[in-house]
Amino acid sequence: MSKDRLLEKLVQGVLGFLTLLTLAILVVILGAVFLKGAPAIDWEFLTEASSNFGTSGGILYQTAGTLILMIGAVTVSLPVAFGTALFQTEYIKSDGLKKFFKYLFYSLNGMPTILFGLVGYMVFGVYLEAGVSWLSGTLILAVMILPTLQVSFQQAVESLPEKYRDQGLALGLNPMAMVCSVIIPQSLFGIITGVLLGLARAAGETAAIMFTATTFSGILLPETWTDPVPTLQTHILVLAQEALNPEAVAHAWGAGLVLMSLAFILIAGAFFCRSKMRMESER
Protein backbone atom coordinates (compact mmCIF):
# COMPACT_ATOMS: atom_id res chain seq x y z
CA MET A 1 0.00 0.00 0.00
CA SER A 2 1.37 3.40 -1.00
CA LYS A 3 2.06 6.16 1.50
CA ASP A 4 -0.73 8.37 0.12
CA ARG A 5 -3.22 5.51 0.26
CA LEU A 6 -2.24 4.73 3.85
CA LEU A 7 -2.64 8.38 4.83
CA GLU A 8 -6.06 8.48 3.19
CA LYS A 9 -7.17 5.40 5.12
CA LEU A 10 -5.88 6.92 8.35
CA VAL A 11 -7.78 10.16 7.78
CA GLN A 12 -10.96 8.23 6.94
CA GLY A 13 -10.60 6.18 10.09
CA VAL A 14 -10.10 9.25 12.30
CA LEU A 15 -13.06 11.05 10.72
CA GLY A 16 -15.23 7.95 11.08
CA PHE A 17 -14.27 7.62 14.74
CA LEU A 18 -15.06 11.28 15.43
CA THR A 19 -18.42 10.90 13.67
CA LEU A 20 -19.32 7.85 15.74
CA LEU A 21 -18.15 9.60 18.91
CA THR A 22 -20.40 12.57 18.15
CA LEU A 23 -23.37 10.30 17.49
CA ALA A 24 -22.66 8.35 20.68
CA ILE A 25 -22.62 11.53 22.77
CA LEU A 26 -25.92 12.61 21.20
CA VAL A 27 -27.51 9.21 21.83
CA VAL A 28 -26.33 9.21 25.46
CA ILE A 29 -27.78 12.68 26.08
CA LEU A 30 -31.09 11.92 24.38
CA GLY A 31 -31.30 8.53 26.06
CA ALA A 32 -30.59 9.94 29.51
CA VAL A 33 -33.25 12.64 29.15
CA PHE A 34 -35.76 10.10 27.87
CA LEU A 35 -35.09 7.47 30.54
CA LYS A 36 -35.09 10.00 33.37
CA GLY A 37 -38.01 12.05 32.08
CA ALA A 38 -40.41 9.40 30.79
CA PRO A 39 -41.60 8.23 34.25
CA ALA A 40 -42.81 11.76 35.03
CA ILE A 41 -44.86 12.11 31.85
CA ASP A 42 -48.59 11.51 32.10
CA TRP A 43 -51.76 13.36 31.19
CA GLU A 44 -51.92 15.26 34.47
CA PHE A 45 -48.29 16.35 34.13
CA LEU A 46 -49.02 17.86 30.72
CA THR A 47 -52.38 19.46 31.51
CA GLU A 48 -52.23 20.62 35.13
CA ALA A 49 -50.70 23.70 36.71
CA SER A 50 -47.63 23.28 38.88
CA SER A 51 -47.85 23.53 42.65
CA ASN A 52 -45.52 23.50 45.67
CA PHE A 53 -42.96 25.56 43.73
CA GLY A 54 -42.97 23.10 40.85
CA THR A 55 -42.35 19.92 42.83
CA SER A 56 -45.87 18.64 42.13
CA GLY A 57 -48.61 19.20 39.59
CA GLY A 58 -47.86 19.73 35.92
CA ILE A 59 -46.27 22.07 33.40
CA LEU A 60 -49.30 23.44 31.56
CA TYR A 61 -48.55 27.12 32.08
CA GLN A 62 -44.81 26.68 31.58
CA THR A 63 -45.45 25.03 28.21
CA ALA A 64 -47.93 27.74 27.24
CA GLY A 65 -45.47 30.48 28.23
CA THR A 66 -42.71 28.90 26.17
CA LEU A 67 -45.00 28.70 23.13
CA ILE A 68 -46.07 32.33 23.58
CA LEU A 69 -42.46 33.52 23.50
CA MET A 70 -41.54 31.25 20.58
CA ILE A 71 -44.46 32.21 18.37
CA GLY A 72 -44.22 35.88 19.29
CA ALA A 73 -40.50 36.00 18.49
CA VAL A 74 -40.93 34.38 15.09
CA THR A 75 -43.88 36.64 14.27
CA VAL A 76 -41.77 39.74 14.96
CA SER A 77 -38.56 38.47 13.37
CA LEU A 78 -39.97 36.84 10.23
CA PRO A 79 -40.79 39.95 8.13
CA VAL A 80 -37.47 41.59 9.05
CA ALA A 81 -35.48 38.46 8.23
CA PHE A 82 -37.25 37.83 4.94
CA GLY A 83 -36.97 41.48 3.95
CA THR A 84 -33.22 41.57 4.56
CA ALA A 85 -32.78 38.25 2.74
CA LEU A 86 -34.60 39.62 -0.30
CA PHE A 87 -32.64 42.86 -0.13
CA GLN A 88 -29.35 40.98 -0.12
CA THR A 89 -30.20 38.56 -2.91
CA GLU A 90 -32.32 40.67 -5.24
CA TYR A 91 -31.21 44.27 -4.83
CA ILE A 92 -27.62 44.45 -3.54
CA LYS A 93 -25.11 44.15 -6.37
CA SER A 94 -21.93 44.95 -4.44
CA ASP A 95 -20.05 41.86 -3.26
CA GLY A 96 -18.44 43.89 -0.49
CA LEU A 97 -21.80 44.98 0.88
CA LYS A 98 -23.08 41.40 0.72
CA LYS A 99 -20.07 40.22 2.71
CA PHE A 100 -20.67 42.99 5.26
CA PHE A 101 -24.24 41.83 5.88
CA LYS A 102 -23.07 38.21 6.01
CA TYR A 103 -20.47 38.93 8.69
CA LEU A 104 -22.95 41.13 10.54
CA PHE A 105 -25.51 38.36 10.90
CA TYR A 106 -22.92 35.71 11.71
CA SER A 107 -21.48 37.97 14.41
CA LEU A 108 -24.95 38.57 15.82
CA ASN A 109 -25.57 34.83 15.86
CA GLY A 110 -22.35 34.22 17.78
CA MET A 111 -22.94 36.72 20.59
CA PRO A 112 -23.34 35.22 24.09
CA THR A 113 -26.99 34.92 25.02
CA ILE A 114 -26.39 36.44 28.44
CA LEU A 115 -25.45 39.71 26.69
CA PHE A 116 -28.72 39.62 24.76
CA GLY A 117 -30.56 39.26 28.04
CA LEU A 118 -28.70 42.13 29.68
CA VAL A 119 -29.08 44.50 26.72
CA GLY A 120 -32.69 43.43 26.22
CA TYR A 121 -33.54 44.19 29.82
CA MET A 122 -31.88 47.62 29.64
CA VAL A 123 -33.52 48.57 26.34
CA PHE A 124 -36.96 46.97 26.52
CA GLY A 125 -37.37 46.57 30.26
CA VAL A 126 -35.90 49.85 31.53
CA TYR A 127 -35.84 52.45 28.76
CA LEU A 128 -39.06 51.35 27.06
CA GLU A 129 -40.59 50.59 30.49
CA ALA A 130 -41.88 47.16 29.49
CA GLY A 131 -40.31 45.62 32.59
CA VAL A 132 -39.87 41.89 32.97
CA SER A 133 -42.65 40.82 30.62
CA TRP A 134 -43.49 38.51 27.80
CA LEU A 135 -43.29 41.51 25.45
CA SER A 136 -39.66 42.17 26.42
CA GLY A 137 -38.85 38.48 26.09
CA THR A 138 -40.52 38.26 22.70
CA LEU A 139 -38.59 41.25 21.35
CA ILE A 140 -35.18 40.08 22.55
CA LEU A 141 -35.81 36.54 21.29
CA ALA A 142 -36.83 38.03 17.94
CA VAL A 143 -33.43 39.73 17.73
CA MET A 144 -31.65 36.52 18.75
CA ILE A 145 -33.31 34.31 16.13
CA LEU A 146 -33.05 36.93 13.38
CA PRO A 147 -29.74 35.54 12.02
CA THR A 148 -31.13 31.99 11.95
CA LEU A 149 -34.17 33.06 9.97
CA GLN A 150 -32.25 35.42 7.70
CA VAL A 151 -29.59 32.89 6.72
CA SER A 152 -32.20 30.20 6.05
CA PHE A 153 -34.32 32.55 3.94
CA GLN A 154 -31.29 33.80 2.02
CA GLN A 155 -30.15 30.28 1.22
CA ALA A 156 -33.66 29.40 0.06
CA VAL A 157 -33.85 32.40 -2.28
CA GLU A 158 -30.30 31.96 -3.60
CA SER A 159 -30.90 28.27 -4.34
CA LEU A 160 -33.90 29.12 -6.51
CA PRO A 161 -33.11 28.07 -10.11
CA GLU A 162 -32.66 30.99 -12.50
CA LYS A 163 -35.28 29.55 -14.84
CA TYR A 164 -38.03 30.77 -12.52
CA ARG A 165 -36.71 34.33 -12.59
CA ASP A 166 -36.28 34.13 -16.37
CA GLN A 167 -39.88 33.02 -16.78
CA GLY A 168 -41.04 35.90 -14.59
CA LEU A 169 -39.04 38.40 -16.62
CA ALA A 170 -40.44 36.93 -19.83
CA LEU A 171 -43.93 37.59 -18.50
CA GLY A 172 -43.00 41.21 -17.79
CA LEU A 173 -43.27 40.98 -14.00
CA ASN A 174 -41.98 43.96 -12.02
CA PRO A 175 -39.73 43.32 -8.98
CA MET A 176 -42.61 43.28 -6.48
CA ALA A 177 -44.67 40.95 -8.64
CA MET A 178 -41.61 38.75 -9.08
CA VAL A 179 -41.26 38.46 -5.31
CA CYS A 180 -44.94 37.74 -4.68
CA SER A 181 -45.61 35.47 -7.66
CA VAL A 182 -42.32 33.66 -8.15
CA ILE A 183 -39.79 33.92 -5.32
CA ILE A 184 -42.07 33.39 -2.32
CA PRO A 185 -44.06 30.44 -3.75
CA GLN A 186 -40.96 28.68 -5.07
CA SER A 187 -39.02 29.29 -1.82
CA LEU A 188 -41.88 28.24 0.44
CA PHE A 189 -40.23 25.10 1.83
CA GLY A 190 -37.08 27.09 2.57
CA ILE A 191 -39.11 29.73 4.37
CA ILE A 192 -40.87 27.09 6.46
CA THR A 193 -37.48 25.53 7.24
CA GLY A 194 -36.22 28.86 8.55
CA VAL A 195 -39.33 29.37 10.66
CA LEU A 196 -39.02 25.92 12.23
CA LEU A 197 -35.32 26.41 12.97
CA GLY A 198 -36.11 29.81 14.48
CA LEU A 199 -38.76 28.26 16.71
CA ALA A 200 -36.30 25.56 17.81
CA ARG A 201 -33.66 28.20 18.56
CA ALA A 202 -36.15 30.21 20.62
CA ALA A 203 -37.20 27.08 22.52
CA GLY A 204 -33.64 26.48 23.64
CA GLU A 205 -32.84 29.94 25.00
CA THR A 206 -32.71 30.40 28.76
CA ALA A 207 -30.31 33.17 29.78
CA ALA A 208 -31.97 35.93 27.78
CA ILE A 209 -35.51 35.30 29.00
CA MET A 210 -34.35 35.04 32.62
CA PHE A 211 -33.55 38.74 32.45
CA THR A 212 -36.47 39.89 30.35
CA ALA A 213 -39.52 37.65 30.37
CA THR A 214 -40.01 35.26 33.24
CA THR A 215 -40.15 34.86 36.98
CA PHE A 216 -39.62 31.61 38.79
CA SER A 217 -42.98 31.08 40.49
CA GLY A 218 -46.35 32.60 41.28
CA ILE A 219 -47.46 33.45 37.72
CA LEU A 220 -49.90 31.86 35.30
CA LEU A 221 -50.65 33.23 31.84
CA PRO A 222 -50.12 36.91 30.94
CA GLU A 223 -53.16 39.17 30.90
CA THR A 224 -51.42 42.34 29.68
CA TRP A 225 -48.41 43.23 27.52
CA THR A 226 -46.26 43.81 30.59
CA ASP A 227 -46.97 40.56 32.46
CA PRO A 228 -44.20 37.96 32.81
CA VAL A 229 -44.68 34.35 31.76
CA PRO A 230 -43.56 31.01 33.19
CA THR A 231 -41.39 28.94 30.83
CA LEU A 232 -40.10 25.41 30.68
CA GLN A 233 -36.51 26.64 30.57
CA THR A 234 -36.60 28.55 33.85
CA HIS A 235 -38.82 25.86 35.41
CA ILE A 236 -36.11 23.28 34.72
CA LEU A 237 -33.42 25.62 36.01
CA VAL A 238 -35.16 26.18 39.33
CA LEU A 239 -36.05 22.53 39.89
CA ALA A 240 -32.56 21.33 38.98
CA GLN A 241 -31.17 23.35 41.88
CA GLU A 242 -33.22 21.23 44.30
CA ALA A 243 -30.95 18.22 43.88
CA LEU A 244 -31.82 16.82 47.31
CA ASN A 245 -35.55 16.75 46.52
CA PRO A 246 -36.34 13.68 44.37
CA GLU A 247 -39.75 15.06 43.35
CA ALA A 248 -38.20 18.29 42.09
CA VAL A 249 -35.54 16.39 40.14
CA ALA A 250 -38.15 14.06 38.61
CA HIS A 251 -40.25 17.03 37.48
CA ALA A 252 -37.15 18.71 36.06
CA TRP A 253 -36.37 15.64 33.95
CA GLY A 254 -40.00 15.46 32.79
CA ALA A 255 -40.02 19.11 31.75
CA GLY A 256 -36.68 18.57 30.03
CA LEU A 257 -38.12 15.69 28.02
CA VAL A 258 -41.06 17.83 26.91
CA LEU A 259 -38.75 20.66 25.87
CA MET A 260 -36.41 18.27 24.05
CA SER A 261 -39.34 16.65 22.25
CA LEU A 262 -40.61 20.04 21.15
CA ALA A 263 -37.21 21.01 19.75
CA PHE A 264 -36.78 17.60 18.11
CA ILE A 265 -40.14 17.86 16.33
CA LEU A 266 -39.28 21.33 15.02
CA ILE A 267 -35.82 20.28 13.81
CA ALA A 268 -37.21 17.12 12.18
CA GLY A 269 -39.79 19.26 10.40
CA ALA A 270 -37.03 21.60 9.23
CA PHE A 271 -35.02 18.70 7.79
CA PHE A 272 -38.12 17.40 6.01
CA CYS A 273 -38.83 20.80 4.45
CA ARG A 274 -35.20 21.20 3.42
CA SER A 275 -35.23 17.82 1.69
CA LYS A 276 -38.43 18.80 -0.11
CA MET A 277 -36.79 22.07 -1.17
CA ARG A 278 -33.81 20.19 -2.63
CA MET A 279 -36.10 17.82 -4.50
CA GLU A 280 -38.02 20.75 -5.97
CA SER A 281 -34.81 22.53 -7.04
CA GLU A 282 -33.53 19.38 -8.81
CA ARG A 283 -36.61 19.05 -10.99
CATH of the domain at 221: 1.10.3720.10
Q: How many domains does the chain have?
A: 1
Bridge partner list, 50: 57
SS3 129: coil
The pLDDT tens digits along the chain (283 residues) read: 677 777 888 888 889 899 999 999 999 999 999 999 999 898 989 888 888 777 788 899 999 999 999 999 999 999 999 989 888 887 887 788 888 888 888 888 888 888 888 888 888 888 888 888 899 999 999 999 999 999 888 888 888 877 777 777 777 777 777 777 888 888 888 888 889 988 998 888 888 888 888 876 666 788 888 888 999 998 898 888 887 788 888 999 999 999 999 998 998 888 888 787 777 666 6
Q: For residue 22, tell me if it sits in a domain.
A: no
Q: For residue 91, tell me if it sits in a domain.
A: yes
pLDDT value, residue 129: 82
C-alpha distances out from residue 74 to 18, 36, 148, 194, 249, Å: 35, 31, 11, 10, 31
Domain residue limits at 116: 31-277
Q: For residue 87, tell me if it sits in a domain.
A: yes
pLDDT value, residue 145: 92
Nearest-CA neighbor of 146 among 109, 183, 101, 193?
109
Q: For residue 238, tell me if it sits in a domain.
A: yes
CA-to-CA distance for 75 and 104, rounded, in angstroms? 22
Q: For residue 226, tell me if it sits in a domain.
A: yes
C-alpha distances out from residue 113 to 9, 120, 163, 252, Å: 41, 10, 41, 22
pLDDT value, residue 35: 93
Q: For residue 17, tell me if it sits in a domain.
A: no
CA-to-CA distance for 208 and 143, rounded, in angstroms? 11
pLDDT value, residue 280: 65
Q: For residue 10, tell me if it sits in a domain.
A: no
pLDDT value, residue 77: 94
Decide if 58 contacts 46 (C-beta within 8 A). Answer: yes
pLDDT value, residue 255: 92
Q: For residue 25, tell me if it sits in a domain.
A: no
Beta-strand pair 56-57/50-51: antiparallel
Decide if 124 contacts 136 (C-beta within 8 A). Answer: yes
Residue 269 burial (10 A CB sphere; 0-12, 13-18, 19+): middle
